[in-house]
């Protein structure tokens, strides 16, 4: 098999990994024009300064001795298998780079023979790139669960970012769907990478030119919707990972049903993309807005209300804390107002030092008031036409389109108790235990909606 055939197979097999974000643009080449956005395996990621960089996203091999039930590369699946030799991959990457197709490499792999053997091949490819070709571009590598500590150390000194995919959010799910992986095999390398990064920081203070260890930090990926794990489970796990392993990012990947197995969602289910989106919003609240996982969801209400974003959902459940007065509220309190982000909160804090803020003034500052106007006062006054009452706020937060789809509420009053019904009418609800819209006649349809929508 020639290298281009291998490339087609191994980039296709890598597409389910989301820890490297893709632009989603799908435009093929046209006569008379140069370039296309569908070249095999080229995806886009973002540098720390917001710059978009294109990466070759590929597997070292799609052969795997493990049999994770949710994976297209599992050993029991009948599919065409191939593997790059380390030099083939290094040559391919450097040639793509020289042609200006890519700026870096995102490398993952199935487990060929053993985790150590696979890591050694990946290290060999990257060593050729870094030493023989002096490649100085961005490299993100997925560590193989179960690989030896010394290999993780070696890899860490070669790459910019490393990630260890957790994939399944609980030990039970891991035991059922990926029995060959253990929590220890996943969490040990994470601990090692964190320790290595911290040690390296102290080394760099003393020796400025010491080699850098995983300078862009580590990340992980969780599959959403392959198991009945709740949002509460997923968010408390993410929160713990940020604290304990100092992760840069937890990526969420809506499970695409590609495997027919009684333990997995039916092949007819759509990927729970809205749930994935809400989890990313909640993750943002954890990382930048000072929320805890238990404030967003809790054991009593373990899943997010998919009809509205998690910050609005939190605010609606804590209307007793609103409205807040923009001229006096602390920066942290401002961040809790739906529609007010980090930038707007900073602008408000700065502007109110020199002037009295009005709603008009906030608009001029560039603060988007579409949602915020239901939760704040300026000089003790609410915005024109706003009545702060649960039903009016709720109506204000939903778009006209959403409202047209609502079931008729009793009289004009809409209460929080209507929200689950409303949510069922919105955006493809209801969800089932996997976060999917069940289809008629499928296995999920028969299941109870154990994880209903809550407010």
Residues of this chain that interact with ligand SF4 (CB under 6 A) are 64, 66, 68, 71, 73-74, 110-111, 178
CB nearer to ligand SF4: give 142 or 278: 142
Contact 197, 213 (CB under 8 A): yes
Rounded Cα distance between 292 and 240, Å, is: 10
Q: How far is the CB of 75 from ligand SF4 (least distance, A)?
A: 7
Which residues are within 8 A (CB) of 3 and not within 5 positions of it... i.e. 6 or more apart? Answer: 84, 88, 91, 92
The count of residues in the chain is: 455
Q: Number of C-alpha atoms within 13 angstroms, CB side, residue 268? A: 9
Q: How far is the CB of 252 from ligand SF4 (least distance, A)?
A: 16
CB nearer to ligand SF4: give 74 or 454: 74
Q: How far is the CB of 287 from ligand SF4 (least distance, A)?
A: 26
Quick one: angle between helices 86-98 and 3-12, nearest 10?
Answer: 90
Rounded Cα distance between 84 and 125, Å, is: 9
CB nearer to ligand SF4: give 11 or 73: 73
Which residues are within 8 A (CB) of 187 and not within 5 positions of it... i.e. 6 or more apart? Answer: none
Q: Phi then psi for 180, rounded to 5 degrees?
A: -80, -10
CB nearer to ligand SF4: give 55 or 178: 178
Rounded Cα distance between 223 and 251, Å, is: 9
CB nearer to ligand SF4: give 64 or 348: 64
Q: How far is the CB of 436 from ligand SF4 (least distance, A)?
A: 21
CB nearer to ligand SF4: give 70 or 375: 70
430 prior amide bond cis, ω within 30: yes
Q: How far is the CB of 120 from ligand SF4 (least distance, A)?
A: 16
Q: How far is the CB of 251 from ligand SF4 (least distance, A)?
A: 15
State the Cα torsion 280-283-284-290 to the nearest 10°. Answer: 160
The alpha helices in 101-182, defined as continuous H runs, are 115-127, 149-156, 171-177
Number of H helices, E strands in the chain: 18, 9
Q: How far is the CB of 260 from ligand SF4 (least distance, A)?
A: 16
CB nearer to ligand SF4: give 178 or 296: 178
Q: How far is the CB of 118 from ligand SF4 (least distance, A)?
A: 9
Rounded Cα distance between 159 and 136, Å, is: 10
CB nearer to ligand SF4: give 172 or 298: 172
Contact 147, 115 (CB under 8 A): yes
């Amino acid at each position: 098999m020639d290298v281009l055939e291998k490339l087609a197979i191994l980039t296709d097999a890598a597409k389910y990994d989301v820890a490297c974000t893709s632009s989603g643009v799908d435009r093929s080449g046209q006569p008379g024009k140069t370039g296309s956005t569908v070249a095999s395996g080229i995806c886009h990621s973002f540098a720390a300064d917001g710059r978009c960089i294109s990466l070759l996203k590929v597997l070292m091999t799609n052969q795997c001795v493990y049999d994770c039930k949710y994976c297209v590369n599992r050993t029991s699946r009948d599919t065409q298998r191939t593997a790059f030799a380390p030099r083939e991959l290094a040559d391919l990457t450097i040639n793509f780079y020289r042609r200006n197709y890519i700026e870096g490499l995102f490398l993952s792999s199935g487990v060929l023979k053993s985790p150590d053997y696979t890591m050694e091949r990946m290290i060999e490819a990257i060593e050729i790139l870094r030493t023989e070709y002096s490649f100085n571009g961005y490299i993100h590598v997925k560590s193989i669960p179960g690989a030896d500590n010394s290999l993780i150390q070696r890899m860490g000194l070669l790459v910019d970012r490393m990630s260890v995919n957790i994939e399944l959010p609980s030990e039970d799910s891991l035991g059922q769907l990926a029995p060959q992986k253990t929590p220890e095999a996943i969490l040990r390398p994470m601990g090692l990478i964190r320790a290595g990064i911290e040690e390296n920081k102290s080394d760099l203070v003393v020796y400025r030119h010491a080699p850098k260890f995983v300078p862009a930090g580590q990340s992980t990926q969780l599959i959403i919707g392959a198991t009945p794990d709740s949002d509460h489970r997923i968010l408390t796990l993410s929160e713990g990972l940020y604290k304990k392993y100092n992760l840069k990012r937890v990526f969420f990947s809506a499970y695409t049903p590609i495997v027919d197995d009684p333990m997995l969602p039916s092949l007819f289910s759509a990927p729970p993309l809205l749930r994935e989106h809400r989890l990313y919003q909640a993750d943002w609240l954890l990382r930048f807005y000072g929320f805890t996982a238990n404030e967003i969801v809790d054991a009593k209400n373990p899943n997010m209300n998919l009809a509205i974003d998690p910050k609005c959902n939190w605010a609606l459940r804590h209307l007793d804390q609103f409205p807040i007065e923009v001229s006096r509220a602390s920066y942290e309190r401002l961040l809790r107002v739906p529609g007010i982000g980090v930038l707007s909160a900073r602008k408000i804090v700065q502007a109110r030092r020199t002037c009295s803020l009005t709603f008009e003034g906030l608009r001029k500052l560039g603060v988007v008031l579409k949602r915020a106007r239901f939760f704040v006062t300026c000089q003790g006054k609410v915005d024109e036409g706003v009545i702060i009452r649960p039903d009016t706020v709720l109506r204000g937060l939903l778009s006209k389109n959403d409202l047209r789809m609502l079931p008729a509420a009793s009289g004009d009053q809409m209460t929080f108790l209507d929200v689950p019904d409303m949510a069922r009418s919105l955006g493809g609800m209801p969800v089932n235990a996997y976060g999917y819209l069940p289809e008629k006649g499928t296995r999920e349809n028969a299941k109870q909606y154990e994880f209903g929508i809550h407010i």
